[in-house]
Amino acid sequence: MTKENIIRITGVPEHFNLPWRKIVNQQPFLDRQVRLEWIDESRGSGQMNQALRNGETDIAIVLTESFLKDHQQGNSSKLIGFHVKSPLIWGIHVGSQSKYKSLQDIQNPRFYISRLGSGSNLMAYVLAKRENWNSKDLQFEIVDNLDGAMSRYESDPDAMFLWEKYTTMPWVESGQLRRIGEVPSPWPCFGISCSQEVIDQFGDLIFDLRDQVYQLSNSLQKAPNLAEEISSLYHLDKEQVSEWLLQTEWETESIIDTKTINQAMEEMVELGILTEKINPKAFLAIDRIRLTN
């Protein structure tokens, strides 16, 4: 009997990853003795980067800024394409009992973050630039995830917590969180990161998997009942999901615009997320992605 191989795919348990969840449920590679396994990771991209380094996952759906920073710090994983090419809209939250009612009230910015190197950490620098805060004065406390932030707010409601705005909407509407603003990521938000070892082991199958996700994403974006499906699966308000869908574009092709990625890296260098720009050939699966200018 041929031994079955497993490819582990990790992502946040949020609506962005519906196409991946559906492909995993379909198990399209059983005839090639390969089973797909989905792993929910609520602690964000920093934790997923670490899982790739540790060999605890094979593919991770990570934030672009987090992937690039960790690559510069030695992660050998490759970006095999984008997953979401529109920006992520981050909600800026404080606890319901916070003294802060708006961003203008904040003098000494403190943040709860999932971990260092996660989007909740790195996007604080984007916000600091916009609000003219000194990035060297930013203070961070690790709380792991949304549940950790909610627990921490019980005793200290005044730190900010950046998290995707529609994911936190139920807590905002119930009055458990106060949203005092929003900040969009100034680049395509989610990439598909794959360990080099897995690319070497599985070869074409990895890119077949990516392309099947792209095909499904393309059809889902045209599906008339998509908002209803996401609302049911992720316990979100249907009208809010419809609004989110208008702002969100899943990637459907293995194409990366070099101008877009270079502009993103220039911005990250300016913000202090990266120390210098990286040659895209160093972090892209260059022979399986079409680069455009």
Distance CA 103, CA 46 (A): 26
Q: Is the domain of 218 the same as that of 150?
A: no
Domain residues for 227? Answer: 5-86+188-292
The string of pLDDT tens digits covering residues 150-186 is: 999 999 999 999 999 999 999 999 999 999 999 999 9
Q: Is the domain of 203 the same as that of 272?
A: yes
CA distances from 117 to 43, 114, 133, 204, 238 (A): 11, 9, 20, 31, 32
Q: Is the domain of 82 the same as that of 93?
A: no
**58 pLDDT tier (thresholds 50, 70, 90):** very high
Q: Is the domain of 118 the same as that of 148?
A: yes
Q: Taking residues 49-71, what's their average pLDDT?
A: 98
Q: Is the domain of 256 the same as that of 197?
A: yes
Among the candidates 153, 184, 215, a domain finishes at: 184
Residue-level pLDDT at 3: 64
Q: Is the domain of 134 the same as that of 161?
A: yes
Residue-level pLDDT at 1: 33
Number of domains in the chain: 2
Among the candidates 164, 184, 204, a domain finishes at: 184
Q: Is the domain of 61 the same as that of 202?
A: yes
Would you call 95 helix, strand, or coil by DSSP? strand
pTM over 0.85: yes
The string of pLDDT tens digits covering residues 99-117 is: 999 999 999 999 999 999 9
Q: In what order do the strands lie in the sheet with 139-142?
A: 139-142, 110-113, 160-164, 89-95, 177-184
Name the pairing type of β-strands 139-142 and 110-113. parallel
Q: What is the CATH number of the domain that holds 82?
A: 3.40.190.10
